Every structure is written in structure tokens, then in C-alpha cells.
Structure 1
């Protein structure tokens, strides 16, 4: 497994070692000890999620206040453009975003630590997306930032409007989003309004 920090160093691109031949392939999709070593601390995952989405669907940008989730995300069918946005007000990369193309073919994963908003856009005809989370889903703490926020200026690879859920279409702007104070807050239980 190779873990590479992105432009926001806390977000890691995780690339497994793949063994393949004319019969197919094998790779270790998760190993707790190796993952902890790559991240530099012990991380416990409590929930696995699996979604299937059609081409042009955009899910996000989601995060949880008071019950922040770290996410290890990957695609097992199709291709997505995956994005993480730093929501930690005290961070030097506050309000910055990083994006990577994840696919069943490249087998890449993204580690998005607590304190980030996350979303993805489906580029293939459909995509199946799997992710592990470090805390349970908490609807009352879920927040969202609108996908096309002018301050974030995310370069989504799409022409026209994506397919959104009603909830995502009504998401907050980044300017009015509920934020984390800093790294410690992103892993704790306090939050502030901007």
C-alpha cells in the first residue's frame, strides 16, 4: 500500500499493491495496521456504506458537526471525481479543496479525515461507491455545502447541472456553513458558526 499526501496534506491518496495476471487480480483493500501506519495514528472505523449512482449524480458536500466522520472511500464499479473540502477554521488550508478521480480500474482510495466536507460526481454510466466511517451517521448533525459554491470554486468535470438530491440542492453556502474551530475540534464535540 502506498499513501501519498495531496495538496491538503491531511488528505491521503491510498493506492493498493495489485497482483494481477490473465486470470484477474487480487489486492488487499484494507489492512488496519498498514492504514494506521500511513495515517500516523490509530483510526477506528465503525460503519461501512455502499451507494450506487447514475451518471451525472453529485452527492455532497457532506460533513457532520459534533459527530465528525473520517472517511476512507473507494469505487468498486465505474468512475467518480471525489472531493474533500477543509472545514477547519484554524487550519492553514481552511476553505481549500482537493479532488481525485477514483475508479474500479485504478483501485485508488481517498482518506478524508474528520473536519472535511466530502462529495463526489459520477463520471461513468453508473458507479458503486464504498466508504468506511469513523463515527456513525447522525442525521441531526449532518450538514452540507452547496456543490457550486463561488468561494470554493471547485472544478467539477461537468457541463451543465448535476443530478442532486433535494437536500443537496438546498445546501448552505460555504460562507454560512457551520465550521470546526481547528483539528482538535474536528475530532472532538464542539463547533462554531462562521
Structure 2
């Protein structure tokens, strides 16, 4: 498995080498040794989740306050346009975003460290997205920024077909930045 550092500090792309023959293919989707070699505790993941999205659906941009959560994300079926926003005030790439295509052909997994926002758009009629998460979900710590925030200027490749009401009502990037600057709203790592 090849591990590639992206343009965002600490965001890694794990690229497997599928074994193909007349039957189809076989690929490792998680390798504890590769994860450990990249500086991530492979035993730290406590939850696996999966979502199914239809063509054009956007989920995100989501993050967590408090101790937050890191994620290892992959697309098991179909394809997604996956976006990570660095929301760590002390990071050299704070405020920047990067997009990745994750699909059932490249089989890559994207490591998203604590303190980043995450969202994606389904690029196929059905897209199944798998998440390996290092913290149990605490809904009181949820943070969201609008997927179409003009300051971030994220370019989504397809027309948006559906976004949850919660995501449509999400805060702006500037509002989140103000919270991060506010000493009374100190975030101990992720947002």
C-alpha cells in the first residue's frame, strides 16, 4: 500500500494495489502496518460506519469540537468527490481545502486528521461511503459549515440534487473562524 501526503498538513491518501485476474479483483482496504508506518495508531479506530448517497447528493461539511475525531474514508461502491477543509488554527494549511475522487476503481482511503471539516458529493447513481472513525459520536460536539460557503469557494462537480436541512442551515466559514478565535470557545483540537 502506497501512502501519499496531500497538500493539506496531515491529510494522507492510502493507495492500495489491487490484484486483478479473470474473476475480477481483490484489494486490501486497511493495513495496520501501513497505517502505523504513517504515524497513525491503527488500534485507535473504534467505529466503522457506512452511508449510501444518490447522484448529486452532498453531505457536509462536518467536523467535531472537543477532542474531535479522525476518519479514514473510502468509497466502496460508485464514486464521490471528497472535500477536506483544514480547520485547525495552528496548522500551516488552515483555511485551505483539497478535493479527492474516491471510487470503487482506485480503492484509495483518505485519512482526515482531527480538526478538519469533511464533506462529499456522490458522483454516481449510488455511492456507498465507508468511514473508520477514532472516536464515538457525540452529537453535542457536531460542527457544520455550509457546503456552498462563498469564502471557501469549494467547486462541486455536479448540480446539487439534495442536501439535508441541517447542512443547508449550517454556519458560515467566517462564523466558525470567529468561534475558533474566541478564547471562551477554545477548541482542544478538532472542530
Q: Same fold (TM over 0.5)?
A: yes
Q: For residues 115-157 of structure 1, what are the alpha-carbon distances to aligned partners after superposition, in whole Å with 9 as ceiling and x for unaligned?
A: 0000000010110110100111110000100001111111211
Structure 1 runs of 4+ aligned residues shifted over 3 Å read 178-181
Contact 1:67 1:138 in 2 (8 A): no
Q: CA RMSD in A?
A: 1.8
Contact 2:67 2:188 in 1 (8 A): no
1:154-193 maps to which residues of 2 (within 5 A)?
154-159=154-159, 161-177=160-176, 178-179=179-180, 185-186=188-189
- The answer to whether structure 1 residue 80 and structure 2 residue 83 are counterparts is no
Once residues 157 and 26 of structure 2 are traced to their aligned partners in structure 1, the CA distance between those partners, rounded to angstroms, is 30
- The answer to whether structure 1 residue 108 and structure 2 residue 108 are counterparts is yes
- Structure 2 unaligned residues grouped into runs of 5+: none
Once residues 103 and 45 of structure 1 are traced to their aligned partners in structure 2, the CA distance between those partners, rounded to angstroms, is 22
Call closer, same or farther: CA 1:111–1:23 in 2, change over 3 Å. same
- The answer to whether structure 1 residue 120 and structure 2 residue 120 are counterparts is yes
Length, aligned pairs only: 184
What is the TM-score when the length of structure 1 is the normalising length?
0.89
1:142 alignment partner in structure 2 = 142
What is the TM-score when the length of structure 2 is the normalising length?
0.90
Which segment drifts farther, 170-179 or 133-142?
A: 170-179
Call closer, same or farther: CA 1:41–1:105 in 2, change over 3 Å. closer
Aligned-pair CA distance for 1:41: 3.8
Contact 1:86 1:94 in 2 (8 A): yes
Q: For residues 143-179 of structure 1, what are the alpha-carbon distances to aligned partners after superposition, in whole Å with 9 as ceiling and x for unaligned?
A: 10000111111121123x4410110010000000144
Once residues 148 and 45 of structure 1 are traced to their aligned partners in structure 2, the CA distance between those partners, rounded to angstroms, is 30
Once residues 46 and 67 of structure 2 are traced to their aligned partners in structure 1, the CA distance between those partners, rounded to angstroms, is 12
- Structure 1 unaligned residues grouped into runs of 5+: none
Once residues 90 and 151 of structure 1 are traced to their aligned partners in structure 2, the CA distance between those partners, rounded to angstroms, is 20
Aligned-pair CA distance for 1:90: 1.7
